[in-house]
Structure 1
Amino acid sequence: MASISFTRNRILILGLALIFVVSIYIIMFRVIDQRLERLNRRILKEVSLEKSELVQKEFDDFDRIFHLMGLAADEGQQEFMNKLIEQDSVKQFLVAYSYWKSESGVYSKKLTWYNDKSVIDSIFIQTKLFEDITSATFIQGENGMYLRIHIKTNKGVLQLILDLYKFNTYIANQNIGMRAYFELYDDHGICIMHPDLTHIGKKRKEAIMSYPIRDSVILSDHLGLEVLLEEYKLNGIFSDSKFFVNVVLLMTADEVRDIGNTAFLLGALGIATMLLFIFLIDWQNRKAKQLTLRNLEYQKEDALLRFENLKRKVDPHFLFNALGSLQQLIGKDPLQAKTFVGKMAKVYRKFLSRDESGLATIKEEVVLAEEYFFMQKIRFVDTLIPLEINISPEAMTLHIPRFSLQILIENAIKHNELNKEKPLSISIIETQGQLVVRNTVLLKNPDIDSAGYGTQMIAHVYDFYQVQGFEIQHNETDFIVYLPFIHIDSQ
């Protein structure tokens, strides 16, 4: 009996022990399973957040390029805009743009560009700017589906047209959708980004819930699997849109453990990704600056070329007229002829001198203008009123474009009738940080514009030094040119 009792007690103890151990194992595995599930969910959320940030970084790059294009559009630099497109990834899905400048509250189209004019939808060819420029707008075109985006600039609005199919293809090719896929809807619920292109342009099947959606596990109609649905707020051009990240719930316990083993690698990868983006942004900024500097260099070379062309035109013309006047003067007044030769040598020496800056001090320009006018006065005598100059000594050290005063005096004499009854009057007056060159008007041919090649060259120099204020005005009695001072120490 004792033996049987011992056996029963032993079986009971063993059974209780087995039940206890099994219970402990069940509880332990349940706890582990719950922790793995929470860890799995947390990792999934981290993956979701990481994916949204990667997408946001892509969009940040687009924003930066589009805003650079807007700055270039304000300055009319369409060639620079097209270079930005050609050298960036946006060229893969940007199909058209137009720039609308605001003038007194009214927008007018100034710049237009199409990637392929032969297949461009007629819907993009518009004569006025749409009233709603606050958000992205879906467009169903003849040849596809598009998104209209407006970028507000300092002087107007840059309108961009994106091909949605090409846009989705570009995002898919970036390999940022591993274990996840993205959905993007405009403020009307129209799909503009989805891995299944048949969804593009259609409304979301389920009603879009109020922002934000968090920790929602749903059955994906795209994959037929359960996914973790998270909604994120995007910045930039898609700030008014609804952005969803769907992460598949297929990560096993082994994969969770693998994440722990590869945490260092993922961290290094994240840092490398961040550094890469920083490098790309810095590289793109430096590239944009290089393009700007190159453009300025081209302008400078063009300005110098215009100077040289002008000098080549002026030299023979000046010599021919000067020698003709000298020939007449030698017989009449040899002493005056001697003075004339000295003035002629100084003026011609100035023409032959080189200065790559394209600038001269006002004092140098005034001296050249007086000597040149002296020669013309000898030639045309009483048909010219003595030159009027009123400039302060302080202003004499400042700069204006080379030959500008001589060019304006020559233009005044060349384009106007010269007679004793109505002699030509020319004045050079300093006022409010600029020189005002004024001459009376009695045009030989009223149909010919007296502002020609020389004034264009002057304007080009002001453009190069980015100095505003150069202006030409004329009426029935006066021709007026405003020459702002150029402070080269601040350039």
Structure 2
Amino acid sequence: MNKYITSFSLKRNRFIILGLSLFVVVSIYVLMFRVIDHRLHTLNKRILKEMSFEKSQLVQKEFDDFDRVFHLMGLAADEGQQKFMNKLIDQDSVRQFLIAYTYWRSDGLHFSKNLEWYADPKAIDPVIQSTILPEDFRKTKFIKSEKGMYLHVYVPTDKGVLQLTLDLHKLNAYFWAGNLGTRAYFEVYDANGICLIYPDEKEIGKKRIKSWKQYPVKNNLVMSDYILMEVLLDEYKFKGTFENNRLFVNVLLMLTEDDVRDIGNKTFLLGAIGIASMLFFMFLLDIENRKAKRLRLKNLEYQKEDALLRFENLKRKVDPHFLFNALGSLQQLIGKDTAQAKVFVGNMAKVYRKFLSGDESGLAPIKEELALAEEYFFMQKIRFVDTLNPLKINVTPEVMPLFIPKFSLQILIENAIKHNELSKEQPLSITIEEQEGRLVVRNTVLFKNPDMDAAGYGTKMIAHVYDFYQVQGFEIQHHDADFTVYLPFIHIDSR
């Protein structure tokens, strides 16, 4: 039952870990995607701003060119060189929309008309003919009649004021016939909010009725009345003659948004492929780990079976050897000390009974192992008498319930007696004590054969048991004066 519960628990833990891993990976991916998306939108907005500024610079450059021609015409008007003024008009792009000019010379107090010119004298619209110079001549003046819409532009000179009349329909045609950049269009309004330049000529001359959340307008996302799509709207200040007018640049979001969306979709796709690949490899890794775990369990089972087989083989070897030596010692003892012989027989029976006891775990409590060690040592003391010093044991009661490999103490005592030279002059000393979570078995050294390895078959069997239970700390130390074996405690949870 416990085996099935453990298996179910392992599977449940595996699914929990896998689910948590998936959750963490997806969360990181979503966070990463959001960061990338934010960065893309920031980049997109920056690109739009740069496009808007570029558009404003192109428009301003056009008006700067107009100002240059207007300024030269003003200088020529001061000198009365009308032919030169007309020649400038003919050779420049302003001829497409400049339909008249009037030069007002100043005497210090008043302005009087000095020069006048019309592109088509036969078709003069009376509304553009001026008899006086308006007082607010520093601002452009919008004029509308049944024949058309016009704009008076005033250029102050050293000796007077040059009044220029622009046909707004022709001015709009001039701008929209040219290419002032893609993905954007602009609007121009005078100080009173009258539309002067707009892609749709139907809007020319109309009062601006738009209201924006902030003014001046910067970084506004609005719905365009012209293309009926969302645009980024920015306002820029004119320089020169048109400085009192307002320039608005509209940058279309759609194309750059498509680019951003395309990048985002590709990023999402690559991320999804990455996650799928990672989950696939995690699945393969989990399969391999389970295979490796099953293999380790099989290997541990093989190790256990091997250790127990060695243990049983050792028992089969020890049993007749132990019985033969014990009976020989008993035969000698019967003739010398009958009472001692009786005690010897009792200990021999206890020891031999433990040899015959079956336990597949290969472990025994320290208390039982110490008792077996004392009983076994008593029998060896009877046999070897003064060549063995008394067995010294220093172990606290707290560790008695803990486990060590079965027969490990008896094996180490037997090895110490078997591999060392025994004499009354240098009796063999064996001690068993507790030290930092381990039993320490130490004996003095006087090997019968200097080349003999004291760590024989018995200690290898003990090592196999520790390997099976995956307990670290089993150690053998060989010095000139002593031979020491460290036996780690095996807690009940390790079984």
TM-score (norm 2): 0.50
**C-alpha separation between the residues in 1 aligned to 2:84 and 2:215?**
40
Matched ranges for 1:19-34 at <5 A: 19-34=23-38
1:15 and 2:13 correspond? no
Choose which of 188, 191, 200 in structure 2 pairs with 1:196.
Answer: 200
Letter matched to residue 25 of structure 1: Y
d(CA) in 2 for partners of 1:17 and 1:96? Answer: 78
- Note the C-alpha offset of 1:10: 2.1
Counterparts of 2:217 and 2:81, CA distance in 1: 43
Paired position in structure 1 for 2:68: 64
C-alpha deviation, 1:137, in angstroms: 0.8
Deviation at 1:150, TM superposition (A): 0.5
Residue 40 of structure 1 contacts residue 251 of structure 1 at CA under 8 Å; is this kept in 2? no
Structure 1 spans left out of the alignment, 5+ residues = 260-491
Contact 1:216/1:229, CA 8 A, preserved across alignment: yes
Partner of residue 307, structure 1: none
Equivalent-residue separation in structure 2 for 1:41 and 1:143 (angstroms): 43
Matched, 1:247 2:246: no
Q: Which amino acid aligns with 2:237?
A: K
Q: Please tell me the root mean square deviation across aligned C-alpha atoms, in Å.
A: 2.0
Would the alpha carbon gap of residues 163 and 225 (structure 1) be closer, same or farther in structure 2, given more than 3 Å must change?
same
Offset of 1:121 from its aligned partner? 0.5
**Alignment match, 1:179:** 183
Q: Is the 8 A contact 2:188 2:197 kept in 1?
A: yes
The letter for the 2-side match of 1:6 is L
Letter in 1 for 2:20: L
Query: Which residues of 2 match residues 300-319 of structure 1 at below 5 A?
Result: none
- 1:151 alignment partner in structure 2: 155
- CA-to-aligned-CA distance 1:132-162 (integer Å, 9 cap, x gap): 2011111103321111000001111100011
State the secondary structure of the residue aligned to 2:121. Answer: coil
Residues 1:175 and 1:250: Cα distance change in structure 2 (over 3 Å): same
CA distance in 2, matches of 1:258, 1:243: 32
Partner of 1:169: 173
Paired position in structure 2 for 1:233: 237
Deviation at 1:257, TM superposition (A): 10
CA contact (8 A) 1:96 1:113 kept: yes
Structure 2 residue 110 is matched with structure 1 residue 106: yes
The gaps in structure 2 that reach 5 residues or longer are: 264-495
Question: Which letter does structure 2 place at the counterpart of 1:99?
Answer: Y
Cα offset, 1:208, TM superposition: 6.6
Q: Say if 1:140 and 1:77 are closer, same or farther in 2 by CA, change over 3 A.
A: same
Does the CA-based 8 Å contact 1:48-1:230 persist in structure 2? yes
The whole-number CA distance in structure 2 between the counterparts of 1:81 and 1:209 is 45
Identity between Structure 1 and Structure 2 (%): 58
Question: Rg bigger for which structure?
Answer: 2
Instruction: From the superposition, tell whether residues 189 and 34 of structure 1 become closer, same or farther in structure 2 (CA, over 3 Å).
Output: same
Q: Which moved more, 1:210-219 or 1:152-161?
A: 210-219
Paired residues for 1:289-300 under 5 Å: none
Q: Classify the secondary structure of the residue corresponding to 1:167.
A: helix
Where does residue 379 of structure 1 map in the other structure?
none
Check 1:252–1:14 CA distance in 2 against 1; reply closer, same or farther (3 A cut): farther
- 2:121 is aligned to 117
Q: Deviations over 1:314-363 (max 9, x none)?
A: xxxxxxxxxxxxxxxxxxxxxxxxxxxxxxxxxxxxxxxxxxxxxxxxxx
CA drift at 1:7: 2.4
Match of 1:160 in 2: 164
**1:137 equivalenced with 2:123 (yes/no):** no
Is the 1:119–1:143 Cα contact (8 Å) retained in structure 2? no
2:271 maps to which residue?
none
DSSP-derived class of the 1:118 partner: helix
* Count of residues paired in the alignment: 259
Cα shift at 1:220: 1.3
The verdict on how the C-alpha distance between 1:23 and 1:208 changes in structure 2, with shifts beyond 3 A counting, is closer
The answer (yes or no) to whether the contact 2:128–2:143 under 8 Å persists in 1 is no
How far, CA to CA, are the matches of 1:191 and 1:237 in structure 2?
17
The one-letter amino acid paired with 1:44 is L
CA distance in 1, matches of 2:242, 2:69: 15
Contact 1:181 1:247 in 2 (8 A): yes
Deviation digits for residues 428-455 of structure 1 (CA, Å, limit 9, x no counterpart): xxxxxxxxxxxxxxxxxxxxxxxxxxxx
Paired with 2:109 and 2:235, the residues of 1 have a C-alpha distance of 38
- 1:17–1:253 CA distance, 2 compared to 1 (3 A): farther
TM-score (norm 1): 0.50
Amino acid aligned to 2:128: F
Partner of 2:79: 75
8 A contact 1:140–1:201 mirrored in 2:
yes
> Cα distance, 1:8 vs. partner?
2.1
Aligned mates of 1:95, 1:199 — CA distance in 2: 21
- CA distance in structure 2 between the aligned counterparts of 1:258 and 1:18, rounded to whole angstroms: 26
Task: Label 1:130 to 1:145 Cα distance change in 2 as closer, same or farther (>3 A).
Answer: same
Q: 1:188 corresponds to which letter in structure 2?
A: N
Q: CA deviation at 1:226?
A: 1.1
1:275-294 alignment runs, 5 A limit = none
Show the counterpart of 1:415. none
| 1:405-429 deviation line (CA, Å, top 9, x unaligned) | xxxxxxxxxxxxxxxxxxxxxxxxx
Equivalent-residue separation in structure 2 for 1:80 and 1:211 (angstroms) = 43
TM superposition shift of 1:242: 1.6
The amino acid of 1:92's aligned partner reads: Q
Q: Deviations over 1:230-260 (max 9, x none)?
A: 111110111111211111122446736999x
Residues in 1 aligned to 2:257 and 2:131: alpha-carbon distance in whole angstroms: 60
Give CA-to-partner distance per residue, 1:33-65, whole Å, 9 cap, x none: 111111111111111111111111111111011
Query: Contact 2:153–2:165 at 8 Å: present in 1 too?
Result: yes
CA deviations on 1:46-91 (whole Å, 9 max, x unpaired) are 1111111111111111101100000001111111111111111111
